[in-house]
Amino acid sequence: MLNRKMDTVYASDVLRQLDNVLIVTHVRPDGDALGAALGLGALMRGNLRRAQVLLPDPLPEKYLPLVRNADFLTEFPAGGLTQYDALIVLDCARNDRVAMGSGTDYPPQDISILNIDHHGDNNVQAEWSCVVPDAAATSAILVRIAALIGWKMTPQAATFFYLGIMTDTGAFRFSNTSPDTHRLVASLLENNADHDQVIQAVYFSKSRNQQLFEADMVQNYSKVDFDGRYAWAALPDEFFRKYGFSMRDGEMLIELLRELSGVKIAVLLYLAGGQVKVSLRSKDPACPVGPLARKLGGGGHEMAAGVTLKTSDLNSAAAMLREEVGKLL
Amino acid sequence: MLNRKMDTVYASDVLRQLDNVLIVTHVRPDGDALGAALGLGALMRGNLRRAQVLLPDPLPEKYLPLVRNADFLTEFPAGGLTQYDALIVLDCARNDRVAMGSGTDYPPQDISILNIDHHGDNNVQAEWSCVVPDAAATSAILVRIAALIGWKMTPQAATFFYLGIMTDTGAFRFSNTSPDTHRLVASLLENNADHDQVIQAVYFSKSRNQQLFEADMVQNYSKVDFDGRYAWAALPDEFFRKYGFSMRDGEMLIELLRELSGVKIAVLLYLAGGQVKVSLRSKDPACPVGPLARKLGGGGHEMAAGVTLKTSDLNSAAAMLREEVGKLL
């Protein structure tokens, strides 16, 4: 397989020639994964292309109102991949993170692949790769590409791209937010992105149960170490069971650690599928967490990264992370 | 006194002719009050005008790092008002909300007054009044006026205006956010607004004590009524004392009520100076809280308003609010 690295101009030249695509994104999709995939699907269909979006994983509950009228598959297409011109992989940094459903492994051999992402460490195998680490979100790259192609931004596509940019920038608060990010969003709002629907779903639809879960986490599980520079929490399974809460809805939990004054690094640990998952955030460019995540076998951005450890021992994983973070502080 | 209503073009014509001003804002200043006042002060001084900012009230603790290098008075100027060309009143809807310190009542008789605000119910007495209800923040009006005058946007002014817009839009999430809001902010960031400093101060500097206070409030004081459409909390003095927490730092507390799924109206009640203060928020344009606040003697915006009740009985105030909100739902 070719593996051509390209910028958004070249990627737009590739994309404009595709007529019938399957769009996929990463496992456990977050706001940008959903926004990019469903946004591109809506955009292409709104511009006389055929596009299907495959989302085999369960979606975070709060996003369900947003996808109610969206068109996507939850299972690998019965006709296989040969019916498509190309497979488009969005917001996905590694082969083993591509959510293909149970139909096939990644990379499939019988189709051209266009890989579009903003994770600097992206090493997804693809014929064409457009990786823009400066972009705040994969959705932002797609807005740029749509403008380069000259596609009409439909309200539904604008709404999904707005979702992606809003969530990946933490409402324009994270350091990945640039003047361009704000200008792209101004254009999306002018193209009738449904600001209210996105905001209600993402920020104003917390369940009372989740609020109580978070209050309990703050009081009983979150800890600060190294004179307040390190905030962390290791959440055992029984804590999730107590509230019937799933990490699928926990995208924002790490904010409860990051928001604390004086914290430079925040780490959240929990069990998923018998392995310890670790989310890492930095608030100080002088101690990025990307290198630590990569050292442990994970990846992500410099200030926001993650890793799945090959252990089911939450406490020893937490102790190991504490030691590693101590070296960075 | 004249009372000329004017748009931003006329207001810019007035402002450009002023050489030496005193700038004031409302009591208990929030992010936009601080941002507008300190931003305009820095902007005028950066454009060869003389400007002093008077902030007699204690500031929210989280904003202290931002104002460390800012230039402002905490007491009414010893020389009185006659030394100035004009008094500029920012982000302040009513005469009795103007924070003049102990030096004088509002309106003072011996000076021209320019009143700039985005509260639609503004009725501050002034020679010139520029009220723009569509503006997301008073800081946003000032950015527009600065551009109309052709003043150079200094980094310090840009940082303060960014603070004001960021906080009054709840990080671009509230319905007052428009494409223009995003474009103004793009221009502020390009003029070297210190994104990181503002974000760290506003969003990533919560004390552990405040986090525990909030968790306690969620578990023990916040209530939902009317099938989840009304969320409210009445916080007694002993609860504040338990944590040594002051409402000066509580600008965001009502978000813990507003963020709940299904809630249409959120109300927070607490005692201040022996009177019950009430903050009201709506999430549904079909049941705005502005009219209720005005009916009770307060004011504000349609979706975010407040009132101080002439009672010290928190529980009966809460019962009265519950009944009034019930009529709206």
In this predicted complex, what is the ipTM? Answer: 0.90
Residues of A in contact with B186 (CB under 8 A): 179-180, 182-183, 186
Ranges of residues in chain A whose predicted pLDDT is under 50: none
Ranges of residues in chain B whose predicted pLDDT is under 70: 1-2
What is the structure's pLDDT at B144? 97
Instruction: Give the model confidence (pLDDT) of B53-63 as tens digits.
Output: 999 999 998 89
Q: Is A29 helix (H, G, I), strand (E, B) or coil?
A: coil
Among residues 205-264 of chain A, which lie with CB inside 8 Å of chain B?
205-208, 211-212, 214-216, 218-219, 224, 228, 256, 258-263
Q: Does B197 touch chain A (CB under 8 A)?
A: no
- Give the DSSP H/E element, type plus range, for residue A264: none
The residues, ordered by sequence, that sit 6+ positions from A322 with a Cβ below 8 Å of its Cβ are A225, A230, A232
Is the peptide bond between A108 and the residue preceding it cis, with omega within 30 degrees of 0? no
CB neighbour class for B244 (10 Å; exposed up to 12, middle 13-18, buried from 19): exposed
Angstrom distance (rounded) from CA B79 to CA A250: 57
Interface test with B, best of A196, A208, A227, A229 (most B CBs within 10 A): A208
- Give the DSSP H/E element, type plus range, for residue B88: strand B86-90
Q: Does A109 touch chain B (CB under 8 A)?
A: no
- Please name each of the domains of chain A with its CATH number: 4-203 (3.90.1640.10), 208-328 (3.10.310.30)
B211 closest CB neighbour out of A203, A204, A218: A218
The count of other CB atoms within 10 Å of the CB of residue B235 is 20
- For chain A, the distance separating the N- and C-terminal CA atoms, rounded to the nearest angstrom, is 42
Point out which residues pair with A113 in neighbouring strands: A87
For strands A265-272 and A20-24, give the pairing. Answer: unpaired
What is the structure's pLDDT at A102? 82
B179 closest CB neighbour out of A170, A190, A262: A190
Q: Does A173 touch chain B (CB under 8 A)?
A: yes
Token duo for residue A210: 């989740």
Judged by CB atoms closer than 8 Å, whether chains meet at A259 and B196 is answered as no
The residues, ordered by sequence, that sit 6+ positions from B312 with a Cβ below 8 Å of its Cβ are B271, B274, B275, B276
What is the structure's pLDDT at A193? 98
A219 closest CB neighbour out of B215, B261, B283: B215
Q: Nearest residue on chain A to B163, judged by CA atoms?
A: A173
Judged by CB atoms closer than 8 Å, whether chains meet at B214 and A218 is answered as yes
The phi and psi torsions of B77 (rounded to 5 degrees) equal -60, 135
Q: Nearest residue on chain A to B182, judged by CA atoms?
A: A182
Q: What is the reported pTM?
A: 0.92
What is the structure's pLDDT at B300? 87
What is the structure's pLDDT at B235? 97
A183 closest CB neighbour out of B171, B172, B183: B183
What is the structure's pLDDT at B104? 84
Judged by CB atoms closer than 8 Å, whether chains meet at B173 and A171 is answered as yes
Sheet containing A4-5: which strands, arranged edge to edge?
Answer: A4-5, A128-131, A112-117, A86-90, A20-24, A50-53
Angstrom distance (rounded) from CA B148 to CA B116: 15
Token duo for residue A320: 């190991």
Count Cβ–Cβ pairs < 8 Å, chain A vs chain B: 121
Q: Which residue has the tokens 């507003």?
A: B258
**Dihedral (Cα; A132, A134, A136, A141), 10-degree rounding:** -30
Q: Is A311 helix (H, G, I), strand (E, B) or coil?
A: coil
Instruction: Give the model confidence (pLDDT) of A85-141 as tens digits.
Output: 999 999 999 999 999 998 789 999 889 999 999 999 999 999 999 999 999 999 999
Determine the angle formed by the axes of helices A208-220 and B208-220, rounding to 10 degrees. 140
3-state percent breakdown (helix, strand, coil) of chain A, nearest 5: 40, 20, 40
